[in-house]
């Protein structure tokens, strides 16, 4: 018989969310970076309605495993980063009105 772990505190959930977004910013490729951010936000919105402690604990542990996976993938992607920046990463200089 397995003992269920207590549900995480709100601060722990928020810390997980911030950590996932921070790791997403480490991807050198624009498409992967934006997909990871979007997927993180969507998953947290989807799980915001969870109310029973076992499902909250399960979602939190799944999020932690996804964080570890994203960290490993960010390292791999950094090893094979594109030589040129994406068009989406190039910022145009702001024109000042004269």
Q: Tally Cβ neighbours within 10 Å of residue 6.
A: 9
CA dihedral 21, 22, 23, 24 (to 10 degrees): 50
Band (pLDDT 50/70/90 cuts) for residue 89 is confident
- CA dihedral of residues 18, 75, 39, 30 (deg, nearest 10): 110
Alpha-carbon distances, residue 57 vs 31, 51, 53, 67, 95 (angstroms)? 30, 10, 6, 15, 50
pLDDT per residue as tens digits for the range 13-37: 999 999 999 999 999 988 999 999 9
Instruction: Please tell me whether residue 34 adopts helix, strand or coil conformation.
Output: helix
Cα–Cα distance for residue pair 52/57, rounded to 1 Å: 9
Read off the pLDDT of residues 35-73 as tens digits, 9 standing for 90 and up: 999 999 999 999 999 999 999 999 999 999 999 999 999
pLDDT for res 7: 85
pTM equals: 0.81
């Amino acid at each position: 018989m397995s003992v269920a772990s207590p549900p995480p505190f709100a601060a722990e959930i928020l810390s997980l969310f911030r950590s996932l977004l921070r790791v997403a910013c480490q991807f050198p490729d624009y498409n992967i970076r934006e997909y990871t951010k979007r997927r993180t936000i969507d998953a947290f919105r989807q799980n915001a309605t969870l109310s029973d402690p076992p499902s909250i604990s399960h979602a939190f542990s799944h999020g932690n495993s996804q964080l570890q996976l994203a960290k490993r993938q960010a390292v791999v992607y950094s090893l094979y980063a594109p030589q040129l920046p994406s068009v989406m990463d190039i910022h145009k200089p702001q024109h000042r009105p004269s």
